[in-house]
Amino acid sequence: MAVVVPQERTGKPGAGLLMAAWIVGLIFFIPLCLIYIVIPLIGWGLLAIGLVGLVMTYRAWEKAKMGEPASSEGVVGGVLMLISINVIAGILAIVGGAMSG
């Protein structure tokens, strides 16, 4: 009887940066929510764009962790976070996405 051992998946090089971008994005997302409440018209649009960027960065991190290329999600998520004024997380996501490509 043969024993089949599943191969261990190794992550892509940018997985760590994508995880850091997601964490920093989440940390800055909460205070930005409070700021955007003060400026309701512009704020809700930027809040929605930032949330989509945060979700895309998380998805890119999951893909990079599994060893799959995640450059498209990481870069687009980073650009969306840059648009929503989350600069540090956006730059980390763009660099991490490019590294995991």
pLDDT by position in tens, the chain (length 101) = 667 666 666 777 788 888 888 888 888 888 877 777 777 766 778 888 989 999 999 999 898 888 888 888 989 999 999 998 888 889 989 998 888 87
What is the structure's pLDDT at 2? Answer: 66
Q: Is residue 61 part of a domain?
A: yes
3-state class (DSSP) for residue 1:
coil
Q: Is residue 51 part of a domain?
A: yes
What is the structure's pLDDT at 8? Answer: 67
* Backbone dihedral angles phi then psi of residue 8, each to the nearest 5 degrees: -80, 130
What is the structure's pLDDT at 6? Answer: 64
Q: Is residue 2 part of a domain?
A: no
The vertex-81 CA angle with 77 and 89, nearest 5°, equals: 95
Q: Rounded to whole angstroms, how far apart are CA atoms 87 and 21? A: 10
Q: Is residue 52 part of a domain?
A: yes
Q: Rounded to whole angstroms, how far apart are CA atoms 37 and 46? A: 11
What is the structure's pLDDT at 80? Answer: 92
What is the structure's pLDDT at 16? Answer: 82
In the chain, the number of structural domains is 1
Q: Is residue 7 part of a domain?
A: no
